[in-house]
Amino acid sequence: MLAALVLVAFGSLGSALTFNARDGASAGVVTKCVKPGQAAITLDDGPYNWHSQIADLLTSYKVKGTFFINGNNWACIYDKDRIANITYSYNLGHQIGLPSRLFLGSVTYPFEAHHTWSHQDLTTVSAERLDSELTLLTTAFERILGVNPAYCRPPYGNYNDTVVNAINAKGMTVMTWNADSMDSDGYTEPQSEAQYKQLLPSSDGSVIALNHETNPTTASTLIEWLIKELLNLGYELVTAAECAGGDAYQSVGQPQTPTAQWYCPSTN
């Protein structure tokens, strides 16, 4: 689970050359960690039913994870249980928190990042829709957590120069992945394990692992297996921001008090 962006007034963004995470790196896009030996476990499409369970699992292993969340995909981010979920994971270690990361003792815990409002392919929507996909979720971040995220993952890993430039212009960095569990493509947990075993250790020396917190077996078994596998291979597990060598948030303030404006507008 970033910020709003300013666009030139194109009617559509589909005319630019389109890239996918599986195509490899493009300028302005993070696809690997800055330091070999690091691994970032990332989870997309929440907050969902198992969000807090996954946060607790990461915490129990004293490792770091990143949630790329949506505003109105599987559920509305302003629903009370969704607010509780992301607040819970964000506040782990809150009592001695630092501006860009959260600590409990010497351990850094999960942070939230941007995955657009309703999980649209940003390369196919109008300039107005692209702006709303980013603005609506950024507003939710600021309201619920008091933060302005610094990283955005375009849905499906699809992007073009217009999308990247617009996100970068707002101080945000696009991040995709270099290791996909394929859990969103129907892979079973054993198939996802086999997929990871083919990809690890990674050829570039670091890992950004794509998983989906909406998948029940990912939440119940795959993430724990992945944690153990990466640790056994000697990886240092870090947040996506640490992987990229930056801060998790552009700014950190105070959460706001809910009002009648906290609702999910239709974007169809």
235 CB neighbour count, 10 Å cutoff? 25
Q: CA 43, CA 169: separation in Å to the nearest integer?
A: 25
Q: Write down how long the chain is.
A: 268
Per-residue pLDDT of 162-212, as tens digits, reads 898 888 877 889 999 999 999 999 999 999 999 999 999 877 899 999 999
Q: What is the pLDDT of residue 153?
A: 94
Identify the structural domains of the chain with CATH numbers, from first to last: 29-252 (3.20.20.370)
pLDDT for the residue 101:
33
- 18: Cβ contacts below 8 Å, ≥ 6 apart: 123, 158, 159, 160
> What are the CA-CA distances from residue 160 to residues 77, 121, 154, 236 (Å)?
27, 11, 10, 31
pLDDT tens sequence across 32-55: 999 999 999 999 998 999 999 999
With 0-12 CB in 10 A as exposed, 13-18 as middle and 19+ as buried, what is 198? Answer: exposed
Please give the pLDDT value at position 167: 85
